[in-house]
Chain A
């Protein structure tokens, strides 16, 4: 997804001289190197200095540019939080803060490199929008939206590398602010977003094999959340399952519960999130998720499909 983001941004930058990228010492993988060599004046590396990364991006935007601020998610959002809130949110500037490798994908780098609460933190800022594409194809659409259409600040949560394609045969196109059905069924609806969609697909396959009719939905826009779309999903399925790689507070799961309560939904609603705990163990990405109760086996046991 990282390379897809870079390639898409490079293509957008070719067409629009207002696109700048401000990076904080992140390796210029893939097309980022092309961006850097072909448009050196629009590629700014601030070094290990995330506050000035956001501040300079704000200054560029105040002069009419469309900057992207890009580094690993923990550093792009947490370290310069007040700059993200005041310079971007308060001034409502069209700057995209890219959180690369969000979630627990940096599974061996430890808790300092995990981004478990980014949706809650970014989502709490007025004016901030949030996109979290689930595969490289959706990442293209999301990046284009940020580069071309977005009117205000955006937090773009993307994966690192190697994500498979899930949206090639999606039933619906990518539309900012709308949930997107990748599959449509009538019994169970799985709501997910971002890299963990891979697990959601696995669960959907299992449930279908067990004879259930399954909807699979990419909730790529976390803010503004498509409340009407989620309400409809809650009212047209007997069982809704939310799977997200995020703390239990402030993400998709608690908002789905709120919508269910507000709209008096009577479906069964199961949510699977990371715990409200730091992760001190190591291993693969899947090992870390499993230690927080998220794996195909654990989920299928709980939703009663085994």
Chain B
């Protein structure tokens, strides 16, 4: 690996870095009260910026892991992350279903229309 890379940004590198930073800030606001999510997101964004700034880095890591191309490594990571995301969101969705059901059920019971006389009466 070339040791003397210097941090002069090409326009695309600059653009990507700025975008990632914006996402980082937005996600910090988004995941309020979720430290784990925040740390995870920040770590991803920082890695992203690092990869943008030093394009040789993913290539180097990929080689060490035996993947071949840096792009392939990124693809595998993205794909895994994508599946994880779906699982997490789906779980969350199920939790919301449970809450929604409880609210609707409680309302239905509270607001029931009474029977006109009961069998015993």
Chain A complexes with chain B = no
B residues sitting closer than 8 Å to A (CB atoms) are none
